[in-house]
Amino acid sequence: MSTTTPTSAATSAPTSSGRSRTRTVHLGSFGRQTVAGLRMLLVMTVLVGVLYPAVVWAVGQAAFRDQASGSLVRRDGVVVGSSLLGQQWTGPQWFHSRPSVSEYAGDTSGGSNLTATDPRLLREVAQRRAALGAGGASAPADALTASASGLDPHISPEYAAAQVFRVARARGLTTEQVRRLVTDHTQRRTLGYLGMPRVDVLELNLALDAAARR
Amino acid sequence: MGTTLSGLLTIATVVLVLAVAHVPLGDAMARVFTGERHLRVESAVYRLCGVSPSSEQRWSTYALSVAGFSAVSIVGLFALIRFQGSLPLARGAAMDTDTAVNTAVSFATNTNWQSYVGEVGASPVVQTLGLAVQNFVSAAVGLAIAVALIRGLTRNASTTLGNFWVDLTRSVVRILLPLAAIGAIVLLAGGVVQDLTAPEVVHGLSGVDQTVQSGLIASQEAIKELGTNGGGYLNANSAHPLENPNAVTNLVQVVLMLVIPFSLPRTYGVLVGDRRQGQAVLAFMATLWVAMLAVITWAETAAATGPLGAMEGKEVRFGVWGSTLFAHTTTATSTGAVNSLHESYSPLGGGGVLFNMMLGEVSPGGVGAGLYGALVVAILAVFVAGLMVGRTPEIVGKTVGRREITLVALVTVTTPALVLLGTGAALALGTARAGLLGTGPHGLTEMLYAFTSASNNNGSAFAGLTADQPYLNLTLAACMLLGRFVPILLILALAGSLAAQRRRPATDGAMPTHTPLFAGLMVGVAVLVTGLTFLPVLALGPLAEALS
């Protein structure tokens, strides 16, 4: 970077004799800098507000169309959800997702923000335990707690295993059949070590429906 | 594989990637700010903006450019938000005046505190043309200030610090834009949405309708992390599966947050002509990063042995380790994105991420802001050491005199003053206190967290706080504004003062600033200053909660 002598008034050094003059120059300077700032903001808006997202969008359309539009899952050509979003399942014939503050509506997202010792959370946990019936006492943590997003698509393999008996009975399938489906849809840690073992509830329930139809 | 081993290997992967990347990236950034030639696109930018790229600015003019640009950014973003209803793709999105003020200040100051809900508060036009643009340029302002301070240290009896418009443009064009584009495409491939069609309401297999959100999320997500901004497109931020779908995208986001802040010490070392100077700063940042990661992970894994497994407010795909790594990184950099709810953390886990911000965002801190914050700590450490052993306080050939240490002291007290005064006033006032979710010590921590986050330009929250109310919107906006621009102004004055000095070869009387000992001294100074300032309030908040 060169350190050439400044030439414009805006960059000239103030001298003690010219203090008042310098101050007026600076006021004018702020105006000039602001105008330059406005022009810079507009140019940057075109560059990183329009061109950059447009290029990423074009790459998505060309190479990652499925991901770009929300990883939608279809059955018989009809969209039945997103593989990334959990759903609210009711009835014994489905594997259930985790508790959700927003009941998986998707128009907003978030969690309870409550601490593990907050009486309001403890009350909710007691209700969730009671709703799980006999398995409530030994329920895994993710069956009792709400996620951060309210849209967690996954449950732990333990929580899936805890639901096998209920689902099998409601579907008229053997527990062995249902247990095998759970095993088939249990995703391991990516590359063997990243993240947690998990079950995508929508994919498991889709497989369950398919097995029940056969 | 056990969860502990998996977590440790994940951390090792992050460290390995950074260890490999920081050398070439640090060198490249040094070239960006010293190169004589302008790229064709940059020359076009200068022409369109009517600025002369070859003119040099005194520190005061540099500061006026920063002020002029940031003022326009705030006013422009505010106008865009308030008029979004009249613009295309509005889809009913709206914010009140005080929320819009808060948001405009928040994104222009690189804070990205969000008192609005992304799904309903900001249209795609506001998100893409407003918020995402500020994600780029506010990070570029941070880089520019860091480079101006380095020039203050390296220039010899100079009245000037470079040209803000050139530093800003080069930061965007040569550093942020290429890295963000790579990051965005990786995230897109991993499942992050990039779509402009309206959010689709699908009839779920469960029989219940569900809205699948859309938007130009992948492009915004990449710069959100890379620019250490942190404002989520959607309310749940990086916990939302459409923003952060899996463990790989989580890892990518953690790396994006850290890569520039951890590379800048190398840039500093190269620019001052002594790489060991950069290594000492890097060692300082890395020591704090590792130590606090250990504390927060220990607190949360200990909490995970309870019946709730520490899973309230966490996602199954990340688990406890993937959540704490992110929570720690987002507060140690000034990002503030979240992939889990910090308020639901154990008292010491939540206190740990709070302490990260209280350190002043230097471990490794925000883009640019982390480095200039660390250099302030270095100057303070030089001064303290000078007092202790009677050596001349010098850093890379520049003397720390009365003017310099006065400016450094003012930088050091600015944010704590904003945090403590802001928290105290809000807790004294009924309307703000009524917004608290937590009670007792946890309620205190919740309010303290808000003002610590705003004043340090982090942007994460103990999100149980109902922050979208006029009093908090306006006072937090004031904290973000002052917490950003008062230190920037002081640091530019410091840079000007240092640049005016002659650069002298190191004397025997000076304390070396490139040794492990000095890095240790920096850690000690940072922890002591933070501890002395915040211990009383930490004792009343997270520590009291942990002991009860």
pLDDT, one tens digit per residue, over B351-400 is 999 999 999 999 999 999 999 999 999 999 999 999 888 888 999 999 99
The confidence score (pLDDT) of residue A28 equals: 64
Among partner residues B6, B51, B189, which is closest to A67 by beta-carbon distance?
B189
Collect all residues of chain B within an 8 Å Cβ-Cβ radius of residue A56.
181, 184-185, 188, 194, 216, 218-219
Residue B213, classified by CB atoms within 10 Å of its CB into exposed (0-12), middle (13-18) or buried (19+), is buried
Collect all residues of chain B within an 8 Å Cβ-Cβ radius of residue A74.
none
Mean pLDDT over B80-92 rounds to 96
Mean pLDDT over B316-333 rounds to 98
A37–B213 CB contact, under 8 Å: no
A124: nearest CA partner in chain B: B312
d(CA B201, CA B213): 9
pLDDT beyond 90 at A3? no
d(CA B101, CA B106): 8
Three-state SS at A200: strand
A49–B69 CB contact, under 8 Å: no
Q: What is the ipTM of this complex?
A: 0.96
d(CA B242, CA B238): 8
List, for residues B123-179, the tens digit of each pLDDT value.
Answer: 999 999 999 999 999 999 999 999 999 999 999 999 999 999 999 999 999 999 999
Among partner residues B168, B176, B206, which is closest to A88 by beta-carbon distance?
B206
A27: nearest CA partner in chain B: B64
pLDDT beyond 50 at A13? no
Residue of A7, A29, A69, A82 best to disrupt the B interface, most CBs of B under 10 A? A82
Contact B122/B137 with Cβ under 8 angstroms?
no
How near does any CA of chain B get to the CA of A214, in Å? 18
The answer to whether B328 faces chain A, any CB pair under 8 Å, is: no
Residue of A22, A32, A33, A50 best to disrupt the B interface, most CBs of B under 10 A? A33
Amino acid in the structure at residue B4: T
Contacts of A133 (CB under 8 A, 6+ apart): none
User: What is the crossing angle of helices B177-190 and B217-226, to 10°?
Assistant: 130
Among partner residues B1, B56, B240, which is closest to A6 by beta-carbon distance?
B56
Collect all residues of chain B within an 8 Å Cβ-Cβ radius of residue A3.
56, 155, 158, 160
Residue of A59, A65, A100, A109 best to disrupt the B interface, most CBs of B under 10 A? A109
C-alpha torsion sign, points B261, B262, B263, B269: positive
B171: nearest CA partner in chain A: A44
- C-alpha dist (Å) from residue B450 to A156, B268, B487: 33, 32, 19
Collect all residues of chain A within an 8 Å Cβ-Cβ radius of residue B79.
none
C-alpha torsion sign, points B186, B188, B191, B192: positive
The confidence score (pLDDT) of residue B376 equals: 98
Q: What values do phi and psi take at B58, rounded to 5?
A: -70, 165
B64–A33 CB contact, under 8 Å: yes
Among partner residues A79, A81, A148, which is closest to B314 by beta-carbon distance?
A148
The confidence score (pLDDT) of residue A133 equals: 87
The answer to whether B132 faces chain A, any CB pair under 8 Å, is: yes
Residue A191 Rama label (left phi>0; alpha psi -120 to 50; beta): left
Collect all residues of chain A within an 8 Å Cβ-Cβ radius of residue B61.
10-11, 29, 33
Number of H helices, E strands in chain B: 21, 4
A108: nearest CA partner in chain B: B119
As beta bridge partners, residue A200 has A154
The confidence score (pLDDT) of residue B532 equals: 95
pLDDT band for position B95 (cuts 50, 70, 90): very high
Collect all residues of chain A within an 8 Å Cβ-Cβ radius of residue B247.
189-190, 194-196
Burial string for B421-454 (b: 16+ CB within 10 Å, else e) reads: ebbeebbeeeebeebbbbeebbbbbbbbbbbbbb
B210–A50 CB contact, under 8 Å: no
Collect all residues of chain A within an 8 Å Cβ-Cβ radius of residue B6.
189, 193-196
Amino acid in the structure at residue B72: V
pLDDT beyond 70 at A35? yes
B342: nearest CA partner in chain A: A113
The answer to whether B32 faces chain A, any CB pair under 8 Å, is: no
The confidence score (pLDDT) of residue A15 equals: 38
Q: What values do phi and psi take at B47, rounded to 5?
A: -65, -45
Average pLDDT, chain B: 97
List, for residues B191-207, the tens digit of each pLDDT value.
Answer: 999 999 999 999 999 89
Three-state SS at A198: strand
| C-alpha dihedral, B530 to B513 to B140 to B497, nearest 10° | 90
A-B contacts (CB, under 8 Å) = 383
The confidence score (pLDDT) of residue A212 equals: 80
A57–B190 CB contact, under 8 Å: no
- Percent share of chain B, pLDDT over 70: 100
Collect all residues of chain A within an 8 Å Cβ-Cβ radius of residue B339.
148
pLDDT beyond 50 at A2? no
Collect all residues of chain B within an 8 Å Cβ-Cβ radius of residue A197.
none
Collect all residues of chain B within an 8 Å Cβ-Cβ radius of residue A48.
132-133, 136-137, 172, 176-177, 223
Among partner residues B50, B168, B251, which is closest to A39 by beta-carbon distance?
B50
Q: Among residues 200-259 of chain B, which lie with CB inside 8 Å of chain A?
A: 200, 202-206, 208, 210-214, 216, 218-220, 223, 234-236, 239-242, 245-248, 250-251
Collect all residues of chain A within an 8 Å Cβ-Cβ radius of residue B65.
33, 36-37
pLDDT beyond 60 at A1? no
Contact A151/A109 with Cβ under 8 angstroms?
yes
The answer to whether B338 faces chain A, any CB pair under 8 Å, is: yes
pLDDT band for position A213 (cuts 50, 70, 90): confident
A194–B3 CB contact, under 8 Å: no
pLDDT beyond 70 at A16? no
pLDDT beyond 70 at A54? yes
Instruction: Please give the structure tokens belonging to residue B292.
Output: 């606090």
Instruction: Please give the structure tokens belonging to residue B449.
Output: 């967290």
Unique residue bearing structure tokens 């000239």: A12
Q: Is beta strand B209-212 parallel, antiparallel or unpaired with respect to B394-395?
A: unpaired
Collect all residues of chain A within an 8 Å Cβ-Cβ radius of residue B180.
52
The confidence score (pLDDT) of residue A10 equals: 40
As beta bridge partners, residue B298 has none
Collect all residues of chain A within an 8 Å Cβ-Cβ radius of residue B1.
189, 192-193
Taking 3-state DSSP, the helix, strand and coil percentages for chain A, each rounded to the nearest 5, stand at 55, 10, 35
Length of chain A: 214
How near does any CA of chain B get to the CA of A174, in Å? 22
Collect all residues of chain B within an 8 Å Cβ-Cβ radius of residue A127.
none
Mean pLDDT over A176-194 rounds to 97
Among partner residues B45, B210, B315, which is closest to A149 by beta-carbon distance?
B315
pLDDT band for position A44 (cuts 50, 70, 90): very high
Q: Among residues 174-193 of chain B, which lie with CB inside 8 Å of chain A?
A: 176-177, 180-181, 184-185, 188-193
Contact B460/B336 with Cβ under 8 angstroms?
yes
Omega of the bond prior to B364 within 30 degrees of 0, cis?
yes
Among partner residues A26, A85, A98, which is closest to B241 by beta-carbon distance?
A85
Contacts of B127 (CB under 8 A, 6+ apart): B118, B215, B216, B220, B233
